Amino acid sequence: MQRAGAAAAAEIVRTFGDALAHGVAVFAGPGNNGGDAWVVAAALAAIGVSVRVVEAAEPKTDDARAERETARPLIDAREPSGAEGVVVDGLLGTGSAGAPRGAIADAIRRVGERRDAGARVVALDVPSGLDASTGKGDVTVTADLTITFGTMKRGALVRRDRCGRIVVVDIGLGAHASLDDGAATLVDRAWVDARVLPIAVNAHKGTRRRVAIVGGTEGMAGAPILAARAALRSGVGMARAIVHPASVAPLQASVPAALTRPWPESDADIQDSICDWAHAVVIGPGLGRAPDTRARVERILRAWRGPVLLDADALTIFQGDAPALGSLLDGRKAIVTPHVVEFSRVSGRSVDSILDAPFDVGRELAETLGCVVLLKGVPTVLTAPNGRSLVSAAGTPALATGGSGDVLAGVAGTLLAQIDDPLDAAACAAWVHGRAGELAGSHGARGTVIDDVVDQLANVWSEPVSRPRPPILVELP
């Protein structure tokens, strides 16, 4: 508790130092989260900050009572004036369940009023009222900064809109990633860099591998164009777009570095354009759902036995028939990249049930298909057939636009050709895609287009690894 409170106080000073001149209002609840709040109050008061505390309920734990007694001689005993520049939410922690009631609900309302009036709100561990595991909760604090302790909380990743910037501080437990408890590992820059190796100085286009992209029905050439551009921006040696004949000319004009072929019409065409050439195949960008689309995809999957990524319409055509797709994939290195609606169509689950348990639903589908499932969203959750799970929290609303999935498919196709483990390849791609969105949307999502995201891929690959500041483990914007 003392480590958590002291680290939180230091982060508040670092982040909102100018606002501290107007004082701090601390809202303390009855549990150990309230004890954290009392430690924060004492630490800030000890360096000369004017601190006043709202005690929403009597402490129920010995530790919380002890920290209150330590803090009381240091702080201003009066009620907050309402003019404080920073408000600290220590009302409810990870152990709370159900909707807040009574004095706690009233205190959450008061915190919201202070934020509306211009105060900066800091939540300790999770915003009060937010379920730490699921992210559910209608009556919650909305924070500008959430300082969470020991490990990232799944609920915070799901409800980034309520958490603001998230900082995870080490309170003496070490990195949660070292525990073998089945929890998803959070992907970050260092994790990606350890798996995406530098391109050798003596590399050539063959050693950098070749990716075939199948899609682009008439009128949808833009999707494979984006996928091909993303693949080339991600370090592939050669990209080939295999598209409807009407889309060949747009591909050649828009991505001159990519090769183009019309859709194969025979097994010999598939052998020549895909099987004898590619190291990985991406099927789906702009594929369409014509009556013969499924037969075309099945024919390719039977002929091509190597690594494959299926996206968009390449998944939708197997609506309600996931076992058939699993049989076609037959245990090969494979990735599927559905968004929630596509996941629903393939798995038969309702959209609401997927949104309720985004960290859990991928396991069953990954087992059925025998491949890696990348469930796109906020956050992006990745699951392998053996149950191993990863999560990427990189990204911004700049990615919530048409073509974003095609860009992801191009990045992931390249890494699938270059990295042996398809789960690692998919997770690296998800993080890189999200980070490119962050760079492209640094001025805001409005006005950012998907081409900006593709252009930022080059900058993501060249970014240096930045190590968190102790005791900070992770920072999310």
Residues of the chain with CATH 3.40.1190.20: 189-467
> Is residue 394's pLDDT more than 80?
yes
Query: Taking a C-beta distance cutoff of 8 angstroms, is the pair 123, 143 a contact?
Result: yes
Residues of the chain with pLDDT > 90, as a percent, come to 95
> Is residue 427's pLDDT more than 70?
yes
Helix (H) or strand (E) holding 169: strand 165-169
pLDDT digits (tens, 9 = 90+) for 288-342: 999 999 999 999 999 999 999 999 999 999 999 999 999 999 999 999 999 999 9
Query: Taking a C-beta distance cutoff of 8 angstroms, is the pair 248, 260 a contact?
Result: yes
What phi and psi values does residue 365 have, to the nearest 5 degrees? -65, -40
Beta-sheet pairing, 210-215 with 51-55: unpaired
How high is the pLDDT of residue 455?
Answer: 98
Alpha carbons 362 and 373: distance in angstroms, whole number: 6
pLDDT digits (tens, 9 = 90+) for 7-61: 999 999 999 999 999 999 999 999 999 999 999 999 999 999 999 999 999 999 9
Classify 149 as helix, strand or coil.
strand
Mean pLDDT of 444-449: 94
Look up the pTM and report it: 0.95
Mean of the per-residue pLDDT values of the chain:
96
CA distances from 346 to 326, 336, 343, 371, 423 (A): 11, 11, 5, 14, 20
Superfamily, domain 2-174: YjeF N-terminal domain (3.40.50.10260)
The position carrying tokens 């252009």 is 455
8-state DSSP, 76? B
Helix (H) or strand (E) holding 456: helix 450-462
Mean pLDDT of 280-290: 98
How high is the pLDDT of residue 179?
Answer: 62
Strand positions, DSSP E, 29-144: 51-55, 86-90, 120-124
The position carrying tokens 């990519």 is 258
How high is the pLDDT of residue 175?
Answer: 65
Alpha carbons 71 and 342: distance in angstroms, whole number: 53
Residues of the chain with CATH 3.40.50.10260: 2-174
The least confident of 107-111, 179-183, 244-248, 421-425 is 179-183
How high is the pLDDT of residue 466?
Answer: 82
How high is the pLDDT of residue 172?
Answer: 87
Alpha carbons 43 and 26: distance in angstroms, whole number: 12
Alpha carbons 388 and 390: distance in angstroms, whole number: 7
The least confident of 101-105, 124-128, 181-185, 430-434 is 181-185
Structure token pair of residue 179: 């525990």
Which residues are within 8 A (CB) of 193 and not within 5 positions of it... i.e. 6 or more apart? 465
pLDDT digits (tens, 9 = 90+) for 172-214: 877 665 666 778 999 999 999 999 999 999 999 999 999 999 9
Mean pLDDT of 109-134: 97
How high is the pLDDT of residue 176?
Answer: 63
189-467: which CATH architecture? 3-Layer(aba) Sandwich (3.40)
User: Residues of 390-428 as b/e, b for ≥16 C-beta within 10 angstroms?
Assistant: bbbbbbbebbeeebbbbbbbbbbbbbbbbbebbbbbbbb
Helices and strands (DSSP H and E) totals, the chain: 19, 17
